Amino acid sequence: MDGYALVDDIDVIAIADPVAHARSQYADTYADLHLQQFDSVEQMLVTAKPDIVSVCTWHLLHPAPTIAAAKAGVQAVICEKPMAIGMGAADSMIDACQASGTKLVISHQRRFTKGWVKARELMQQGVIGQPLFVTNKVAEGLTNWGTHSIDGSRFVLGDPQPQWVMGAVERRTDRFERDTAIEDACLGLVHFEGDIQLFIQSDLMREGATAGSFQIKGTEGMMEVSESRVRLMNASSNGWLDVEIGAGEADRAIGGNTNAAQVRELLQWLQGEVEEHRGSGRQARVTVEIMMGLYESARRQHVVNFPLTEKGYPLELMIAEDGLPVEVEGRYDIRAFLSWDGVDPARYKELAAEGKGHSQIMRQIHVELEKGEG
């Protein structure tokens, strides 16, 4: 909501959610907006007639509301990350938006953080020479944290196109993240044009794992990048040098000025003031293709060249083909606490009145439910 609340030219007018508790909670949180409430996207599109639609569903549900909004003729869609699970799903969103002229943005909002923007500028200036190798360490699933890390690395490098990938996957438990099957651990190598390579590991070493930090080695130095900090080492830096990026308290990785900047650039795109939004569906599709390519490489057990021909979700296909047999029985979801199943709306309001945020409230309620206190 920060992305809209901080932009004067935007009025939030409606919300659609089939879960009544979730819908009313959101409307109560922003009671001063007097939001129109709907239990389906289709109803909202017909009645409220929004110009911009935000798709905030879980990953597998991204295509349907995006396509519905495009078919209804909305001017723009901002969809949560990851864009989609599988290339077929991603392409269906792009095709629908292209057919209707709808601008599609994927919320890789960290592209607007001070650290990433400054790092991109420094790379363009050649302060560490030509980039050679990028190192990323993430956790909680490749499609979850990895989408930000890969997208951020591409952004700082100037959005190079990938040429091939090679990946490895481990899945001994029946692990999910927001209803999407994910791996226990994985690693991969991505080869970009210009002979730049990126190495990413997920859930192999939790210490130091982050969605927004990575290291770049160049021909003339090194750079460490995060959303809020950039430091480099080259021939003239006299060791590691912290670069001033001008970040303030409101310059967060999620929300605040970051999401507001994402919205403002969308308005500029709609008005023809920029050629393309930096977080466009076209750019996000590349990130999806890299992740799906890594899974497909593990599935095929060889290097996968782009463009990727598999349109489904390679990890799910591996599971269906018994390529990743579960050794520890019992399905679990690392984001199960975000489900509204069993949540008492009254208890939610009690905790909200104490000033607790949504995720904190949902975690506490689900802990209470497990203990039989709910």
Helical H runs in the chain?
2-5, 20-29, 41-47, 63-71, 87-100, 114-125, 147-157, 256-270, 281-300, 314-320, 345-353, 358-370
Q: What is the pLDDT of residues 134-153, one digit of tens each?
A: 999 999 999 999 999 999 99
Q: What percent of the chain has pLDDT over 70?
A: 99
- Report the 10 Å Cβ neighbour count for 51: 12
Domain map of the chain by residue range? 2-109+255-279, 111-249+284-320, 336-370
Q: What is the predicted pLDDT for the residue at 255?
A: 86
The CA distances from residue 119 to 115, 198, 242, 259, in Å, are: 6, 16, 12, 19
Q: Six-digit token pair at 257?
A: 């000025």
Q: What is the predicted pLDDT for the residue at 102?
A: 98
Give residues with Cβ within 8 angstroms of 83, minimum separation 6: 62, 90, 93, 106, 147, 281, 284, 285, 287, 288
Q: Can you tell me the distance from the alpha carbon of 189 to that of 200, in angstroms, rounded to the nearest whole number? A: 7
Is the pLDDT confidence value at 53 over 90?
Answer: yes
Q: What is the predicted pLDDT for the residue at 250?
A: 77
Is the pLDDT confidence value at 247 over 90?
Answer: no
Average pLDDT over the chain, rounded to an integer: 96
Is the pLDDT confidence value at 72 over 80?
Answer: yes
Q: What is the predicted pLDDT for the residue at 158?
A: 98
Q: What is the pLDDT of residues 7-48, one digit of tens each?
A: 999 999 999 999 998 999 899 989 999 999 999 999 999 999
Q: What is the predicted pLDDT for the residue at 36?
A: 97
C-alpha dihedral, 69 to 72 to 74 to 76, nearest 10°: 30
The more confident residue out of 25 and 282 is 282
The angle at the Cα of 278, spanning 272 to 282, to the nearest 5 degrees, equals: 95
Q: What is the predicted pLDDT for the residue at 69?
A: 98
Largest CA distance in the chain: 62
The more confident residue out of 3 and 280 is 280
Q: What is the predicted pLDDT for the residue at 374?
A: 56
Is the pLDDT confidence value at 54 over 60?
Answer: yes
Give residues with Cβ within 8 angstroms of 240, minimum separation 6: 231, 232, 233
Q: What is the pLDDT of residues 350-360, one digit of tens each?
A: 998 898 988 89
C-alpha 8, offset from chain centre: 25
CATH number of 111-249+284-320: 3.30.360.10
CATH number of 2-109+255-279: 3.40.50.720
Q: What is the predicted pLDDT for the residue at 249?
A: 79
DSSP character at residue 280? B
Q: What is the predicted pLDDT for the residue at 241?
A: 97
Confidence of residue 232 (pLDDT cuts 50, 70, 90): very high
**Is the C-alpha dihedral spanning 86, 91, 96, 97 positive or negative?**
positive
Q: Are strands 103-106 and 76-79 parallel, antiparallel or unpaired?
A: parallel
Is the pLDDT confidence value at 320 over 70?
Answer: yes
H/E run at residue 194: none
Query: What's the average model confidence in pLDDT over 276-289?
Result: 98
For 130, phi and psi rounded to 5 degrees? Answer: -85, 135
Q: What is the pLDDT of residues 73-120, one digit of tens each?
A: 999 999 999 999 999 999 999 999 999 999 999 999 999 999 999 999
Query: What's the average model confidence in pLDDT over 177-205?
Result: 98
State the DSSP string of 232-255: EEETTSSS-EEPP----TT--SSS
Q: Can you tell me the distance from the alpha carbon of 359 to that of 374, in angstroms, rounded to the nearest whole number? A: 17
Rg (CA), the chain: 21
Q: What is the predicted pLDDT for the residue at 138?
A: 98
Is the pLDDT confidence value at 174 over 60?
Answer: yes
